[in-house]
Amino acid sequence: MPPVRDHTQTATAEVAFQVERVGWPTPDRLEVVGRWFGVRGRRFIRPTLYVDADGEPRRLLAVLDHKPWAVEDGQEWIAAFAWDGDPVDLAGSELTVGPGVAVELAPGAQREPVERRFARPPRADVLGNELAGEREKTQKLARDLHEARAEHSADMVRTSREHEEELERVRSEKVRAEQEAERRLADLRSELDAARDRAARLETALRKVRDELAVARADVAAQRAGLEHERATFAAEASEGAADEVEGLRVERDAARAETAEARAERDTARRESATARGERDAAIRDRDRARQERQVLISRVRTEGEKRRGVQPPAPARETTPTLPAPPIVAVETSAPPRSTGPALAAAVALVVLAVVVVLLIAFAL
In CATH, 16-121 is 2.60.120:
no
Statement: residue 62 has pLDDT above 90: yes
> Among 84-98, 296-310, 352-366, whose mean pLDDT is lowest?
352-366
Average pLDDT over residues 102-109: 68
Statement: residue 160 has pLDDT above 80: yes
Statement: residue 90 has pLDDT above 90: no
User: According to the model, what pLDDT value does residue 4 have?
Assistant: 37
> Among 61-75, 99-113, 187-201, 241-255, whose mean pLDDT is lowest?
99-113
User: According to the model, what pLDDT value does residue 318 have?
Assistant: 52
Local structure of residue 66 (DSSP, 8 states) = G
Q: How far is CA 95 from the centre of its chain?
A: 81
- Say how far apart CA 20 and CA 271 lie, in whole Å: 159
Q: What percent of the residues of the chain are helix, what percent strand, and what percent coil, each to the nearest 5?
A: 60, 15, 25
pLDDT in tens, 133-156: 777 778 888 888 888 888 888 888
User: According to the model, what pLDDT value does residue 243 have?
Assistant: 64
> Among 220-224, 239-243, 317-321, 329-333, whose mean pLDDT is lowest?
329-333
Domain ranges for the chain: 16-121, 123-234
Average pLDDT over residues 342-354: 70
- Say how far apart CA 156 and CA 75 lie, in whole Å: 71
- Say how far apart CA 94 and CA 101 lie, in whole Å: 10
For residue 256, what are the contacts with CB-CB under 8 A and spacing of at least 6? none
Q: Give bridge partners of residue 78 from the DSSP assignment.
A: 33
Q: How confident is the model at residue 8 (pLDDT cuts 50, 70, 90)?
A: very low
| Helical pair 123-240 and 242-310, crossing angle rounded to 10 deg | 90
Query: Rounded mean pLDDT of the chain?
Result: 78
Statement: residue 201 has pLDDT above 70: yes
Statement: residue 111 has pLDDT above 60: no
pLDDT in tens, 46-56: 999 998 877 78
- Say how far apart CA 8 and CA 5 lie, in whole Å: 9
pLDDT in tens, 268-295: 888 898 888 888 888 888 888 888 888 8
SS3 (DSSP) at 114: coil
β-pairing, 76-82 with 29-37?
antiparallel
